[in-house]
Structure 1
């Protein structure tokens, strides 16, 4: 179930990439597909929590299962929010550097999808959480550079507010990937 949730996040990250190359007329349709992916993520999370609540014995601690499911859901929520804001704010052009943010999220999504099947055996997971933490540090650097770029005086105040909210939400998605990695590390330590 976690693997299905993570695969859906990969779908979301691909939609983010697609948004970057789309003109404003195509963005509403991408946002609609992202909304559908976010709803699929909600359904996956609810299925995990339903199974958790129906199970007397769980493969690992209930709190960790809940935290992992919630964190995966948060990632999808943040990505969907970013796409929705681009459409709602009618942003014509995203600032240079957003593509780097999205590339980091895309790589973290792929790594997360690859790691989920390994929860059964807990094999090869240290490489996952180390790389996701490295990617989150990279995302922090990109975020700070984007903020500096936004505040350099080339944008009007309203545009800065719109763009800042979008890049902040993308940063929250990167933070949520780190939370997933940290939860998986906690599970691996407890189960070893």
Structure 2
């Protein structure tokens, strides 16, 4: 048991860090929803979605900054300081890559959205929803078993995203003759697959924290 764990018995319930984690993960879900919606509307309607994604990514970045400021000001924390930093940073990384995928679609003027792109945004949305559940579950140290199951689901989705990505890239090289299009689609797919990887990173941090403090 760490010194920080001992202090937890004598201090009020955390009112600083968990609200920030929950705010970040809730915004992450909205970002993932917006990205999934963006790839399912006509190209002429996408700009508003892309702008919203940009705003949400900036919001999550600000929450990350605020969390790190709180970390520098507070001696007592709900769990290890390095884990707090790792968790908020991991959430921020997911947002960065989903925003990156949207930015590439916008910058490269990707008009035709493939089934693989839609599938990856759907997988990322489901993963972000599970991250939000995991963050809420983390507030109770007795939720270790439930957290483990949530994290296992996220990890399975990451493996699913890898399969979708590999097949999509293979299909592009097999069927696409325009080099520009190959580059465009591979860049978008890579950003979406990386977002899925980062969801797994969040899952790993959540599970590590749960194991440490259960």
Shorter-chain TM-score bucket reads over 0.9
**Alpha-carbon contact 2:154-2:199 (below 8 Å) kept:** yes
- Cα offsets for 1:11-42 (capped at 9, x unmatched): 11111111112222222221111100011111
Aligned to 1:12: 31
Alpha-carbon distance in 1 for matches of 2:66, 2:181: 40
Aligned to 1:181: 203
Task: Give the superposed CA RMSD.
Answer: 1.1
What is the Cα deviation at residue 155 of structure 1? 3.8
TM-score (norm 2): 0.87
Aligned to 2:111: 92
Matched, 1:107 2:126: yes
Aligned to 1:75: 94
What is the Cα deviation at residue 52 of structure 1? 1.1
**Alpha-carbon contact 2:134-2:151 (below 8 Å) kept:** no
- What SS does structure 2 have at the residue aligned with 1:131? helix
Alpha-carbon distance in 1 for matches of 2:74, 2:177: 54
- What SS does structure 1 have at the residue aligned with 2:39? helix
Alpha-carbon distance in 1 for matches of 2:177, 2:101: 19
**Alpha-carbon contact 2:31-2:95 (below 8 Å) kept:** yes
Q: Which runs of 5+ in 2 are unaligned?
A: 1-19
Higher relative contact order (CA 8 A, sep 6+): 1
Matched, 1:28 2:47: yes
Alpha-carbon distance in 2 for matches of 1:2, 1:52: 13
Aligned to 1:152: 174
Q: Which structure has the bigger radius of gyration?
A: 2
Alpha-carbon distance in 2 for matches of 1:3, 1:155: 45
- What SS does structure 2 have at the residue aligned with 1:4? helix
Q: Which runs of 5+ in 1 are unaligned?
A: none
TM-score (norm 1): 0.96
Aligned to 1:132: 154
Alignment length (residue pairs): 192
- Cα offsets for 1:118-154 (capped at 9, x unmatched): 2111312111111101111111111101111111133
- Cα offsets for 1:62-94 (capped at 9, x unmatched): 111111100100111111111111011011102
Alpha-carbon distance in 1 for matches of 2:79, 2:198: 21
- What SS does structure 2 have at the residue aligned with 1:21? coil
